[in-house]
Structure formats: structure tokens, C-alpha cells
Amino acid sequence: MRLTRYFLPVLKENPADAQIVSHRYMLRAGMIKQQAAGIYSWLPLGYKVLKRIEQIVHEEQVRAGHIPLLMPTLQPADLWRESGRYDDYGLEMLRIKDRQGRDMLYGPTNEEMITDIFRAHVGSYKDLPLTLYHIQWKFRDEMRPRFGVMRGREFLMKDGYNFDLTKEDALHAYNRHLVSYLRTYERMGLQAIPMRADSGPIGGDDTHEFLVLAETGESEVFYDATVTDIKLGAREIDYDDKAQCAAVMEEFTSLYARTDETHDADLFEAVPEERRKSARGIEVGQIFYFGTKYSEAMGATVVTPDGGRVPVHMGSHGIGVSRLLGAIIEASHDDKGIIWPEGVTPFHCGIVNLKQGDEGTDAACEEIYKALQKAGLDPLYDDRDERAGAKFATMDLIGLPWRITVGPRGLKNGVVELTSRRTGESEEMTAEAAVERVTQVYAGI
Ligand code: 5CA
């Protein structure tokens, strides 16, 4: 993309109403525009990152054997009357009447609707296990929408639902989700720690939240510091292997790590003092096992091998897709702007032309631009007729991990400059070598 042809409405001033850094940078970098409290338009740059995050979530869900579908945002109230949650959900639910006077709602989550789909089409244990998921907009009329996309009213969520014959199978689904979530967050350059939590209006006893440690997080958390040393890394996972998934679950959840809702001061005392940490965290996902709560209420049963009929065991599993943009920025920025991890960056590499209009520099930039595209990358070429300082400030703000700077002086010596946004280090090399280096960086991602 050439910047002169793009739509990147960068703000010069710090928006007064944005209290935390991710909100400030998302507004300043022209990623989002607020349309009402907690409701945002996704401008091109923000939309691009949102799509990259969505893509990673999809890939890791499919890898775990989960099946994508798409349910609507609007739901009939009658489904929620069956589970009893229409009255229970309270003011967070946006309730709407259609022209026929029928009660509708904008879905805050989809347990009822997925159970309705299941009961209409599945009737036998032979069709299990089954996990269906979608990535769809949700609406929760939050009392205090704030911090931009972090606590929105309309937000994008991945929500998945498992259906299993037995509790044991459903707990395997729970573990499978835990492992796939760990991999998902790591690909985004994030460390998200599973912590024992409270299930709230979803229900059930088994639930873990995934928390990214950040001072601006809304949750108070307590943990054993050694938990931050564990990484999933590149290990091979067989998602059908119950023992392997259970072992990863055990590894990541046996150390003390809890949100304030389930914090137990006595248990915490047992952690050696120097490892006892309390901090704040951003909740980027949550997994639940709630057994037959919805299947019983809504008649989602299957025939068993011995000819009986039982309600299926279920769980639901969410990832805050739009919230993740905020969480990643909170975890990765400096005083100049965002620093995108390579896995989610909106453009792979920026190209800064230090002397727009100079024949030689223009031609060199064009060549680099085309070579990066040819290598399958998505570069952003700042071809504006602007001062170098302004171009650098924009690149730093929008946070592309790599920048190639091209100027007449370097070209005279046959070199351009390759700069890492994260370290700030620059290296001079030929244009070909810079393209090759950037291509190599992304080859493993
Ligand atoms: N049905 C279950 C799992 S699919 C569910 O709704 N879980 S949840 O309530 O925990 O939401 C899942 C994730 O969505 C949360 O972990 C959080 O990351 C994100 N989320 C929840 N509320 C908001 C909000 N108001 N704004 C942005 N993201 C949110």
C-alpha cells in the first residue's frame, strides 16, 4: 500500500478522553473511531489488525479440530426463556422488539442458540464429540464502557461450544481449548496466564480466565511468579491425545494463579514469599465447563450406545478478539507509539522515502516495494511529500516492526537502512539484503 492512496487519519494531538495508552494510540494511529459509548468503527489500519487476529484465532481453532460456523447477532428471546436466562441476564442485555412486536435481543453470547442448532440436527452419541465455534459481534450494555475496545459495548468475540457424551470427554474438550488458547496468544506475541476464575452468568464450576499482565488491566490477580516462566513454544500437540492435553493443562494450572474472585489467602500463603505476586491483568479469554445446564433445560439429548437418552455435556470457550488489540498494545509499546509483534502487524514493513521526488530515491523505493510484494509481504510505502521527521513519527506511531529507509546519501554508497522498531537498531545494507532479511523474519511466522 502507498500511503498517499491509503486512509490513515493520524491524530497529532493526544485525545483528551483516552485514559490508557492502547486507547490513546488506537485513536492517534487512526485505527478506530468512536461512534457512541463503547461502539467503534474500525478504520482501515485497525480493521487490518483485527482481521489478522481473527485469522490466527481461526487457524488455531481449526488445528484443534473445532468447526467454524456463523450465527446471527440478533436472537429471538424465546430461546433465552427456555434456559431461564432471559430474565436473569439483566440490564446488560440489549432488548429489541421487531415490527410484529416479537421480543428479540442482540446476542451477548450464544449458549442457547448453539444448543438449539445441536438439538435440531444431532441425536446420537455417534456424532460426538463435536465443537462448533464462531467469531461474531456481541453486544453487552456494559455499565461503564471504557478504555476503548478493551471494554466495549459492541465487541468481537470468538465463542466455541463443545458437545460431549460424558463429563470426561467434555473435560478433554476443556483441556483442548486451554492448549489451543495458549498457542493462539503466543502467536500474537502475548503471554496469557490461565487463572482459576468465577463463572458469572455463564454458569458451571470449572472455569479459567486467560490474563495478560498489565498495569492498566481491570482484574486484580494473584500468582506464583514461576508461572510466568512456562511457555508452550513450538512443541507438537496432538489434540486427540487426552493424556497430552491433560498434561499441558496440569503444567499450566497447578501453580497458584487466581483472579480476585477466587483468591484464597491461605493457599497463597503456601507459595514462597519471594514468588508471591499480586498484579493487574487484562482478561483476553475464558473457558467454561458447565455440564448439562443448557442441554437439560433445552432438551439437547443423544441416544447412548446402550439405547438410552442423555443430555449432552457442554462447555463454552471465549476469546476477546477486539479486546486483544488493546491488550497487545498495552503489552507492546513505547513513548513513540505501538510496537506490533510480527504475528499481527497490519503491514509487514514500512518504506520511508527521505527525498520524495528525487528520481533515484523514488526508483529505489519502488523497487523495494515491488520486491517485498513479490516475496508475499504487505509493505506500506510512505510516499508522501513530507519531512523525514514526520514520516518517522508516523511509522513509529503505527508500530510496523521493520522499516527500510531510503535516501540519496545512502544510495550513493549503494545502501539503505533497515531498522527494528522494537530495538531501535539500524543497519546499513543493500536494498536486496534488506528485502531478504525482512522476508526471512516472516518466513517462520
Ligand atoms: N460464552 C462464554 C464463552 S464463549 C462467554 O461469553 N465468556 S466471557 O463472558 O468470558 O467472554 C469471553 C471474552 O470476551 C472475555 O474473556 C473477554 O476477553 C471478552 N469480552 C467480554 N466482555 C467484553 C467487552 N465488554 N468488551 C470487549 N471484550 C469483552
SS3 249: helix
**Residue of minimum CA distance from atom 6 in ligand 1:** 109
Query: CA–CA separation, 325 vs 415, rounded Å?
Result: 35
**Residue of minimum CA distance from atom 5 in ligand 1:** 318
Atom of ligand 1 minimally distant from the CA of 160: 4
If you measure from the C-alpha of residue 214 to the centroid of ligand 1, how many angstroms do you get, rounded to a whole number? 18
- Any atom of ligand 1 within 6 Å of the Cβ of 361: no
Q: Which pLDDT value is given to residue 368?
A: 98
Q: Which pLDDT value is given to residue 404?
A: 98
- Any atom of ligand 1 within 6 Å of the Cβ of 162: no
Query: CA–CA separation, 184 vs 56, rounded Å?
Result: 7
Spell out the per-residue pLDDT of the chain, length 445, in tens.
999 999 999 998 889 889 999 999 999 999 999 999 999 999 999 999 999 999 999 999 999 999 999 999 999 999 999 999 999 999 999 999 999 999 999 999 999 999 999 999 999 999 999 999 999 999 999 999 999 999 999 999 999 999 999 999 999 999 999 999 999 999 999 999 999 988 777 777 789 999 999 999 999 999 999 999 999 999 999 999 999 999 999 999 999 999 999 999 999 999 999 999 999 999 999 999 999 999 999 999 999 999 999 999 999 999 999 999 999 999 999 999 999 999 999 999 999 999 999 999 999 999 999 999 999 999 999 999 999 999 999 999 999 999 999 999 999 999 999 999 999 999 999 999 999 999 999 998 8
- Any atom of ligand 1 within 6 Å of the Cβ of 107: no
Beta partners for 229? none
SS3 166: coil
Class at the top of the CATH hierarchy for domain 349-443: alpha beta
Which residue carries 457442554 as its cell? 314
**Residue of minimum CA distance from atom 13 in ligand 1:** 320
**What is the chain's percent helix, strand, coil content, to nearest 5?**
40, 30, 35
Q: Which pLDDT value is given to residue 97?
A: 98
Q: Which pLDDT value is given to residue 200?
A: 79
Distances (CA, A) of 140 to 89, 128, 210: 10, 32, 20
Ligand 1 pocket mutation, candidates 188, 221, 323, 328, criterion most atoms within 8 A of CB: 323
SS3 91: helix
Helix axes 359-374, 431-443, angle to 10 degrees: 30
If you measure from the C-alpha of residue 10 to the centroid of ligand 1, how many angstroms do you get, rounded to a whole number? 29
Query: CA–CA separation, 237 vs 244, rounded Å?
Result: 8
Helix axes 321-331, 44-63, angle to 10 degrees: 110
**Residue of minimum CA distance from atom 22 in ligand 1:** 151
Q: How many CB atoms lie within 10 A of CB 80?
A: 23
- CA 223 from centroid of its chain's CA atoms: 23
Ligand 1 pocket mutation, candidates 23, 139, 157, criterion most atoms within 8 A of CB: 157
If you measure from the C-alpha of residue 151 to the centroid of ligand 1, how many angstroms do you get, rounded to a whole number? 9
Q: Which pLDDT value is given to residue 201?
A: 76
Residue 34: CB partners within 8 Å, gap ≥ 6? 27, 40, 148
Domain ranges across the chain: 3-338, 349-443
**Residue of minimum CA distance from atom 23 in ligand 1:** 151
Q: How many CB atoms lie within 10 A of CB 122?
A: 17
Residue 437: CB partners within 8 Å, gap ≥ 6? 418, 429
If you measure from the C-alpha of residue 155 to the centroid of ligand 1, how many angstroms do you get, rounded to a whole number? 9
Q: Residue 211 is which amino acid? A: L
The structure's pTM equals 0.97
Distances (CA, A) of 96 to 3, 112, 144: 42, 17, 21
If you measure from the C-alpha of residue 50 to the centroid of ligand 1, how many angstroms do you get, rounded to a whole number? 16
If you measure from the C-alpha of residue 184 to the centroid of ligand 1, how many angstroms do you get, rounded to a whole number? 16
3-338 folds as: BirA Bifunctional Protein; domain 2 (3.30.930)
DSSP code string of 20-78: SHHHHHHHHTT-EEEEETTEEEE-HHHHHHHHHHHHHHHHHHHHTT-EE----SEEEHH
Among 79, 118, 82, CA closest to 300 = 118
- Angle among Cα 252, 345, 213 to the nearest 5 degrees reads 35
Among 80, 232, 70, 97, CA closest to 160 = 70
SS3 393: helix
Beta partners for 245? none
Taking the chain, what is the end-to-end CA distance rounded to the nearest angstrom?
21
If you measure from the C-alpha of residue 356 to the centroid of ligand 1, how many angstroms do you get, rounded to a whole number? 46
Q: Which pLDDT value is given to residue 1?
A: 98
| Bridging pattern class, strands 379-382 and 349-353 | parallel
- Any atom of ligand 1 within 6 Å of the Cβ of 115: no
**H-state helical runs in 138-264:** 167-187, 242-253
- Any atom of ligand 1 within 6 Å of the Cβ of 295: no
Ligand 1 pocket mutation, candidates 50, 181, 286, 324, criterion most atoms within 8 A of CB: 286
Q: Which pLDDT value is given to residue 351?
A: 98
Half-sphere exposure of 177 (CA within 13 A, CB side): 32
Query: CA–CA separation, 269 vs 264, rounded Å?
Result: 9
Cis peptide before 346 (omega within 30 of 0): no
Q: Assess contact for 193 and 225: CB atoms under 8 A.
A: no
